[in-house]
C-alpha cells in the first residue's frame, strides 16, 4: 500500500532487493527442492506477497502445521462452547478462534445464541475484564505457540499477585519443535524448513538444532517480509546444495541463538509440557502446555470439569494430511463444494491462514 | 503466534508501555524485555513486547543484501 | 423540554410534537404545516431513489456521528448513480432514555451536511421504543435525485470496457479505524478521523467536465475488495489493482499490520470507485485533486482484457494474488 514508511517493515519490502534475491535464487537452485513453512504467518505472507510467482518452478513451498487455529482440536472448541454456557461466564478469546467449527457450531454462533463471548487482543485485556466484572467468571482461551503462551503466563502471574479469584484459563497452548519432529520422523521428503521467526524470538534458534542434527533437514529461522522469506529460501537452497544442513538465522534483527530468557522464565513458572492432541497429527508427546499445580485454581479445565462429546469426523476431512504436507486441498473431496470459507468443515478452511482457505481464495483461479 | 509488528516505545509506566505502530498507539506489556527504553523498537504481539529489535542486525541484513545487489550489476 | 426522550415523545401527543418541531423540523427548515407526505413537483428526467439504515456503534466517533453518516451515505448513493441529490427523508427510532441534547447535536449535523450538499430533508418520522429495544438510536434515510439531461445512470456498469482505469478519491480504511478506536476499551488509540463526507459536488464536477465515466460505486462495508468484486461480477470482466498505488494513511496501515486486517476490506464513508475511459483518466484525477474530497485521488488499477471475473492484485513484491470477497467482518488476529 502507498503510505508513510513503516520502519523495520518497508525496508524488507523493497522491490530492488526482492528482484536481486529472486535472481540469486534462480541461479543457485539447480535441483528440485521442497521446503515447508510451519508457521501460519509465513503461509499468509507467502500468499499476500505472491512469493510463489517469484520463485522458480523447481522450488516447491508447502504448508505444515503452525496455524494454532488449524491444529486446535474440535474437542477444544466443543469444551469452550460448553463452558461459555456456565452461569455468569464471560468468555474471552483471540479473534482467530471465533469461526473455528466445533462438532455443532462455532464460538461466533454460540455468541449469537446468547453466550457472552468477547474478542480480546491480549491476555491482559482478559485479566482486566476479570477486574472490572468481579461478579462474573472470566474464562480466557489460551491458544498459540511459544510466541503467545508467555503472555498468558504473565497474565496468570499477575492474577496470582493481585489475588484475583474470577480469572480462568483454558489452555490449548502448544510447542512447535515437537510438532516439526512429528512431521519429519516418518519421512516426508522435505529438504528444509522455513522456521517460525516469532516462535524463535522466544525459544532461540537452538530449539531447532535437533532437526538438522538428527534428521539432516536444512533450517533457516525466517522473518515475515518478502525479503526475509526470499533470503531464507536462498539460504536453504545453499545449505541443500552444500549438503550441510544446519540451523541458520535469517531474522537476525529479532532472533538469537538463546532466545528470550525472561519470557521462558514466565513459561516455566506457569506451565509444564504435557501430551497434546494436534488435529491431523494425533497425540504428540510433550507438545502442549498445561498449567502447573500451583496455578490449578486458575485452570478452567479442572475448575469447571465438563464432559463433552465430540463428533467424529466422517473421515472425509483430510486436514490432517494437508497439515503434514502429504496432500493438497485439491485432493479433498469436500474442498470447494461442501467446505468453503463461509461454511467451513475443517480448520484448514476456517483460518485465513489455513492452507485450504488460502488455496480457495487465491489458488483456485491460478 | 506470528502476527508481530515492530513498534516504537513512546512512554513507559511501570511494566507497561505505550508503543506506536505507524502512528497508532497500543498498550504493551514489557514484562519480557530487559532494560526497555523510550525510543526502542520492539515486536508487538498480542498486547506484549516480545523482543527488542536490533538496529545493528537490521542494518547488517540490509547491507549484505545491498552488497549482493551491487555484485550482480 | 425533558432532558431525556421518553415513551411519551413517541406517542403523537403534545410532547411528541414539541420534540419533532424543536429538534428536527426547525433545523431541517421543513415547511409548516408538517404534512403526512411531502409534495415534490413533477420533474421530467430520470429519477434515482435510494434507502439506507444506520445502526452504527458508537453513534459519536471522530469525524462525525450517526446523523452525518446518514445524510452523507444517502447523498453519495444518489451521486454515484449520476444523479443530483435533491430530497431526503429521515426516520428515527429512539431508545427511551436517549439524551435530548445528543439528539439535537445529531440533527444539527444532519442539517449542516444537507445544507453543504445542497439537499433538503423534507419529511421524516420519529418513534420511541422501550429500553433495550433498540441500540440507542437507529436512523433510516431515503433519498431522491435527478439525472439531468445527457446523464447516464451509472450503477449498472454496462459501459465498462477492458483498459478502463480504476480511480479512488483517497486513502482507505479511515472510517473503520476511527470507529474501532472510538469504542470503549478499544485496545489502541489513534488520531484517525472518519472520512465521512458528501461527495456529490466533486462527482458533479467530474461528470460535468468529462464524458467517459463508465461506472461508480460508494466504497462502504466490505471495502474496495467488495466493490471490485461486484464490478467483476456485473461486467463479467477481470480487474487488476496495483498494491503500491492504493493510498493508505500511516496509522491505518499500522493498525492493519497489528491486527492482521486488509485495508482493502475496510469500511469507508467518503470514498468512491470510479471507472473511467483511459483517455480521460488524468483529467478526472486533475479535477478530483482540486476538490477537498479528492486531494489524494489515485489511479489504482484497470479493467482487464481477459474475461476472468476476478480481482487480481499486483503486489509490491512483484507477485500476484487474488482479492476475494471478504467473508464476514474482520476480527483481530494473533496468528
Nine-digit cell at C263? Answer: 485495508
ipTM score assigned to the predicted complex: 0.94
More confident residue, C318 or C99: C99
Strand order in the sheet with A192-196: A59-63, A33-37, A192-196, A218-222, A247-249
Confidence at residue C1, expressed as pLDDT on a 0 to 100 scale = 53
Position C172 scores a pLDDT of: 97
Chains touching chain A at 3 or more Cβ pairs under 8 angstroms?
Answer: B, C
DSSP A362: I
Q: With a cut of 80, say whether residue A354 has pLDDT above it.
A: no
Can you tell me the distance from the alpha carbon of A348 to that of A101, in angstroms, rounded to the nearest whole number? 11
Instruction: Label residues C186-207 b or e (16+ Cβ within 10 Å = b).
Output: ebbebebbbbbbbbbbbbbbbb
Residues 6+ apart with CB under 8 A from A214: none
Q: How far apart are CA A250 and CA A259, in angstroms?
A: 14
Least confident of A299-308, C120-129, C313-322: C313-322
Q: What is the mean pLDDT of residues C41-60?
A: 91
Q: Which residue has the cell 503462551?
A: A149
CB distance C100 to C19 below 8 Å? yes
Higher-scoring residue by pLDDT: A114, C316: A114
C183 min Cα distance to partner chain B (Å): 14
Q: Is B38 exposed, middle or buried (0-12, 13-18, 19+ CB in 10 A)?
A: exposed
Q: How many CB atoms lie within 10 A of CB A327?
A: 15
Q: Which SS3 state, helix, strand or coil, does residue C2 take?
A: coil
Cell of C307: 474475461
- Reported as a single tens digit per residue, the pLDDT across A122-177 is 999 999 999 999 999 999 999 999 999 999 999 999 999 999 999 999 999 999 99
Please state, in angstroms and rounded to a whole number, the distance separating the CA atoms of residues A111 and A82.
Answer: 12
Q: What is the pTM of this model?
A: 0.89
**Cis amide prior to A230 (ω within 30 degrees):** no
- Residues of chain C contacting A, Cβ within 8 Å: 171, 185, 187, 243-250, 252-254, 257, 259-260, 263, 298, 308, 310, 315-322, 324, 327-328, 331-335
> What whole-number distance in Å separates Cα of residue C311 and Cα of residue A24?
31
Nearest-Cα residue of chain B relative to residue C260? B3
Considering CB atoms only, which of A1, A50, A67 is closest to C321?
A50
pLDDT digits (tens, 9 = 90+) for B1-47: 478 999 999 999 999 999 998 888 999 999 999 999 999 999 999 99
Of the ranges A43-47, A260-264, B6-10, C285-289, which one carries the lowest mean pLDDT score? A43-47
Distance, CA of C210 to CA of C276 (rounded, Å): 10
Q: Which residues pair with A89 in a beta bridge?
A: A137
What is the pLDDT, as a whole number, of residue A365? 38
> How large is the greatest C-alpha to C-alpha distance in chain A, in angstroms?
65
Site of grid cell 525459544: A203
Nearest to A98 by CA among C329, B3, C221: C329
- Helix (H, G, I), strand (E, B), or coil: what is residue A56? coil
User: 3-state DSSP call for residue B32?
Assistant: coil
Q: Are B22 and A5 in contact (CB under 8 A)?
A: no
Q: What is the mean pLDDT of residues C207-214?
A: 95
Confidence label for A314 from pLDDT (cuts 50, 70 and 90): low
According to DSSP, the β-strands at C239-242 and C311-314 are: parallel
3-state SS assignment for residue C94:
strand
**Pick from C290, C302, C148, C284: nearest CA to C212:** C284
Distance from CA of B12 to the nearest CA of A (A): 17
Span C311-317, average pLDDT: 87
CA distance B8 to A284: 38
Are the beta carbons of C276 and C284 closer than 8 angstroms?
yes
Q: Average pLDDT of C209-217?
A: 96
Residue whose C-alpha cell reads 429538534 in the numeric block: C23
DSSP type of residue A325: T
The pLDDT of A52-56, averaged and rounded, is: 92
Given a cut of 90, whether residue A103 has pLDDT beyond it is no
Minimum CA–CA partner of C299 in chain A:
A2
Question: Given a cut of 90, is residue A116 above it in pLDDT?
Answer: yes
Query: Could you report the per-residue pLDDT of A235-285, keeping only the tens digit for each?
Result: 999 999 999 999 999 999 999 999 999 999 999 999 999 999 887 677 889
| Cell numbers that stand for A141 in this block | 482461551
Contacts of C118 (CB under 8 A, 6+ apart): C85, C200, C201
Q: How confident is the model over A181-205, as pLDDT tens digits? A: 988 887 667 899 999 999 999 999 9
Q: Are C280 and C211 in contact (CB under 8 A)?
A: yes
Mean pLDDT of A299-323: 82
Which grid coordinates are listed for A248?
A: 541458520
For chain C, the chains sharing at least 3 beta-carbon pairs closer than 8 angstroms are A, B
| Mean pLDDT score, A293-302 | 97
Chain C residues touching residue B45 (CB < 8 angstroms): 334
**pLDDT at A41 (0 to 100):** 87
Burial environment of residue C122 by CB neighbours within 10 A (0 to 12, 13 to 18, 19 or more): buried
Amino acid at each position: 500500500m502507498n503510505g508513510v514508511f513503516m520502519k523495520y517493515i518497508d525496508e524488507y519490502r523493497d522491490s530492488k532487493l526482492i528482484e536481486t534475491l529472486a535472481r540469486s535464487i534462480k541461479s543457485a537452485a539447480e535441483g528440485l527442492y521442497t521446503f515447508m513453512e510451519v508457521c501460519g504467518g509465513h503461509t499468509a505472507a507467502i500468499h499476500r506477497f505472491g512469493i510463489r510467482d517469484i520463485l522458480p518452478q523447481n522450488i516447491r513451498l508447502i504448508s505444515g502445521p503452525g496455524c494454532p487455529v488449524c491444529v486446535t482440536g474440535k474437542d477444544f472448541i466443543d469444551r469452550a462452547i460448553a463452558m461459555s454456557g456456565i452461569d455468569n461466564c464471560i468468555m474471552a478469546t483471540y479473534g482467530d478462534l471465533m469461526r473455528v467449527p466445533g462438532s455443532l457450531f462455532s464460538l461466533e454462533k454460540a455468541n449469537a445464541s446468547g453466550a457472552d463471548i468477547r474478542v480480546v487482543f491480549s491476555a491482559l485485556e482478559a485479566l482486566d475484564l476479570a477486574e472490572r466484572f468481579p461478579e462474573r467468571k472470566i474464562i480466557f482461551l489460551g491458544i498459540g505457540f511459544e510466541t503467545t503462551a508467555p503472555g498468558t503466563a504473565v497474565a496468570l502471574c499477575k492474577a496470582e499477585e493481585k489475588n484475583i479469584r474470577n480469572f480462568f484459563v483454558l489452555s490449548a497452548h502448544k510447542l512447535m519443535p515437537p510438532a516439526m519432529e512429528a512431521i519429519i520422523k516418518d519421512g516426508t521428503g522435505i529438504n528444509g524448513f522455513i522456521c517460525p521467526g516469532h516462535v524463535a524470538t522466544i525459544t532461540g534458534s537452538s530449539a531447532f538444532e535437533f532437526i538438522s542434527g538428527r534428521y539432516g533437514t536444512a533450517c533457516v529461522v525466517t522473518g515475515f517480509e518478502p525479503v526475509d522469506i526470499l533470503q531464507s529460501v536462498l539460504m536453504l537452497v545453499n545449505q541443500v546444495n552444500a549438503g550441510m544442513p544446519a540451523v541458520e538465522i535469517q531474522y537476525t534483527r529479532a532472533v538469537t541463538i538463546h532466545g528470550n530468557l525472561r519470557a521462558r522464565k514466565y513459561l516455566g513458572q506457569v506451565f509444564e509440557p504435557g501430551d497434546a492432541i494436534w488435529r491431523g497429527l494425533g497425540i504428540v508427546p510433550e507438545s502442549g502446555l498445561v498449567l502447573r499445580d500451583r496455578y490449578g485454581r486458575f485452570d478452567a479445565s479442572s475448575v469447571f470439569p465438563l464432559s463433552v462429546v465430540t463428533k467424529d469426523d466422517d473421515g472425509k476431512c483430510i486436514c490432517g494430511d494437508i497439515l503434514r504436507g502429504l496432500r493438497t486441498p485439491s485432493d479433498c473431496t469436500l474442498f470447494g463444494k461442501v467446505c468453503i470459507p463461509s461454511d467451513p468443515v475443517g480448520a484448514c478452511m476456517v483460518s485465513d491462514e489455513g492452507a485450504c482457505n488460502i488455496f480457495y481464495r487465491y489458488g483456485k483461479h491460478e | 503466534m506470528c502476527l508481530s509488528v515492530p513498534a516504537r516505545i513512546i512512554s513507559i509506566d511501570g511494566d507497561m508501555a505505550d508503543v506506536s505502530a505507524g502512528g497508532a498507539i497500543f498498550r504493551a506489556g514489557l514484562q519480557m524485555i530487559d532494560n526497555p527504553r523510550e525510543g526502542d523498537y520492539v515486536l508487538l504481539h498480542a498486547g506484549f513486547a516480545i523482543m527488542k529489535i536490533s538496529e545493528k542486525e537490521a542494518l547488517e541484513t540490509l547491507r549484505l543484501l545491498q552488497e549482493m545487489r551491487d555484485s550482480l550489476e | 423540554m425533558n432532558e431525556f426522550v421518553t415513551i411519551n415523545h413517541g406517542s403523537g401527543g403534545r410532547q411528541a410534537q414539541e420534540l419533532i418541531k424543536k429538534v428536527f423540523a426547525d433545523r431541517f427548515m421543513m415547511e409548516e404545516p408538517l404534512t403526512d407526505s411531502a409534495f415534490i413537483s413533477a420533474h421530467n428526467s430520470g429519477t434515482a431513489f435510494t434507502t439506507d439504515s444506520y445502526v452504527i456503534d458508537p453513534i459519536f466517533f471522530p469525524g462525525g456521528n450517526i446523523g452525518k453518516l446518514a445524510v452523507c451515505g444517502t447523498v453519495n448513493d444518489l451521486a454515484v448513480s449520476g444523479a443530483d441529490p435533491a430530497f431526503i427523508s429521515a426516520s428515527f427510532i429512539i431508545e427511551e432514555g436517549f439524551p435530548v441534547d445528543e439528539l439535537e447535536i445529531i440533527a444539527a449535523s444532519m442539517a449542516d451536511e444537507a445544507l453543504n450538499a445542497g439537499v433538503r430533508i423534507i419529511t421524516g418520522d420519529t418513534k420511541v421504543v422501550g429500553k433495550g429495544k433498540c441500540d440507542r438510536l437507529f436512523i433510516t434515510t431515503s433519498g431522491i435525485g435527478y439525472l439531468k439531461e445527457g446523464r447516464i445512470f451509472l450503477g449498472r456498469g454496462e459501459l465498462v470496457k477492458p483498459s478502463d482505469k480504476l480511480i479512488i478519491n483517497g486513502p482507505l480504511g479511515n472510517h473503520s479505524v476511527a470507529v474501532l478506536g472510538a469504542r470503549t476499551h478499544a485496545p489502541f488509540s489513534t488520531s484517525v478521523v472518519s472520512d465521512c463526507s458528501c461527495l456529490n459536488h466533486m462527482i458533479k464536477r467530474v461528470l460535468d467536465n468529462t464524458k467517459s465515466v463508465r461506472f461508480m460505486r460508494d466504497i462502504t462495508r466490505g471495502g474496495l475488495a467488495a466493490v471490485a468484486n461486484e464490478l467483476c461480477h456485473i461486467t463479467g470482466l477481470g480487474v487488476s489493482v496495483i498494491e503500491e498505488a492504493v493510498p493508505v494513511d500511516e496509522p491505518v496501515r499500522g493498525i492493519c499490520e497489528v491486527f492482521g486486517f486488509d485495508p482493502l476490506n475496510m469500511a469507508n464513508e467518503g470514498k468512491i470507485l470510479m471507472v473511467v475511459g483511459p483517455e480521460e483518466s488524468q483529467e478526472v484525477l486533475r479535477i478530483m485533486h482540486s476538490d477537498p474530497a479528492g486531494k489524494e485521488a489515485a489511479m489504482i488499477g484497470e479493467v482487464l482484457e481477459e474475461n476472468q471475473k476476478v480481482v487480481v492484485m499486483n503486489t509490491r513484491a512483484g507477485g500476484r494474488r487474488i482479492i476475494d470477497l471478504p467473508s464476514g467482518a474482520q476480527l483481530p488476529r494473533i496468528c
